[in-house]
Structure 1
Amino acid sequence: MNKQDQINMIREDFINCQKVLLAIGDETRQSILLVLMGTDCQTGLRVGEITEQTHLSRPAVSHHLKVLRDAGVILMRKEGTKNFYYINVSTELGLLRTLMLNIDKFMQNYYGNDGM
């Protein structure tokens, strides 16, 4: 694959990752993701539990959870009237891995092993 083909592939990767990059680029959403990652609970957390751990308001947590859900980073499970949020393990975050691998391969091919 030539240099321009690799650049085009990386361009496409960036396009595919835009929603995820926007969703996880926000510091507040990063803190919510860290809370979700840090829990021992495999079933997810409710908004109130996330609110307690992030010290954000319920409306703020709900807003950020919606952004993360819309980007495919987290999922929600309903149990009666309760909603549980958890990280989507088969997530769009995998697109970021592809993007980084393609950038790394490009850097090695054209700038040597140290990326310089």
Structure 2
Amino acid sequence: MNKHDQLNTIKEDFINCQKVLLAIGDETRQSILLVLMGTDCQTGLRVGEITRQTHLSRPAVSHHLRILRDAGVILMRKEGTKNFYFIDIRTKLGLLKDLVKHIEELMQKFY
């Protein structure tokens, strides 16, 4: 693949990652992600549990969870009336890995 093709691939990667980058760029959402990553619970956390650990209001947590879900960064599992939020390796976070890989390949090959 030539440099022009690689740059086009990286451009497409950036476009595909825009929602993810915006979602994880916020400090509050980063703290929510850290809580989700740091839990021993494999089934996910409920809004109340996230609220307690982040010291954010319940509406704020719900708002940020919605943004993270819409961006494909986290997933939600429903059990009756309860919603459990979790990070899965198959989420859109994998797009970031591809973006970084393509940038590294370009930098190693041409610079």
TM-score range, shorter chain: over 0.9
In 1, are the aligned partners of 2:13 and 2:95 still within 8 Å (CA)?
yes
Alignment partner, residue 110 of structure 1: 110
In 2, are the aligned partners of 1:20 and 1:93 still within 8 Å (CA)?
yes
TM-aligned CA deviation for residue 109 of structure 1: 1.1
TM-aligned CA deviation for residue 93 of structure 1: 0.7
Alignment partner, residue 70 of structure 1: 70
TM-score, with normalisation over the residues of structure 1?
A: 0.93
1:86 maps to a residue whose letter is: F
- Could you list the runs of 5+ residues in structure 1 that have no partner in the other structure? 112-116
Mapped to 1, the partners of 2:49 and 2:61 lie a distance apart of 10
TM-score, with normalisation over the residues of structure 2?
A: 0.97
Alignment partner, residue 24 of structure 1: 24
SS of match in other structure, 1:43: coil
Alignment partner, residue 41 of structure 1: 41
TM-aligned CA deviation for residue 49 of structure 1: 0.4
Mapped to 1, the partners of 2:54 and 2:82 lie a distance apart of 19
Percent of paired sites with the same residue: 80
Number of positions where the alignment pairs a residue of Structure 1 with one of Structure 2? 111
Q: Over aligned residue pairs, what C-alpha RMSD do you find?
A: 0.7
TM-aligned CA deviation for residue 50 of structure 1: 0.2
In 1, are the aligned partners of 2:75 and 2:91 still within 8 Å (CA)?
no
TM-aligned CA deviation for residue 79 of structure 1: 1.1
In 2, are the aligned partners of 1:72 and 1:88 still within 8 Å (CA)?
no
1:15 maps to a residue whose letter is: I
Mapped to 1, the partners of 2:46 and 2:13 lie a distance apart of 33
Q: Deviations over 1:64-115 (max 9, x none)?
A: 000000011111111111111011321111110000000001111121xxxx
- Could you list the runs of 5+ residues in structure 2 that have no partner in the other structure? none
Runs of 4+ displaced beyond 4 Å? none
2:29 maps to a residue whose letter is: R
Q: Which shows bigger deviation, 72-81 or 59-68?
A: 72-81
Bigger-Rg structure (1/2): 1
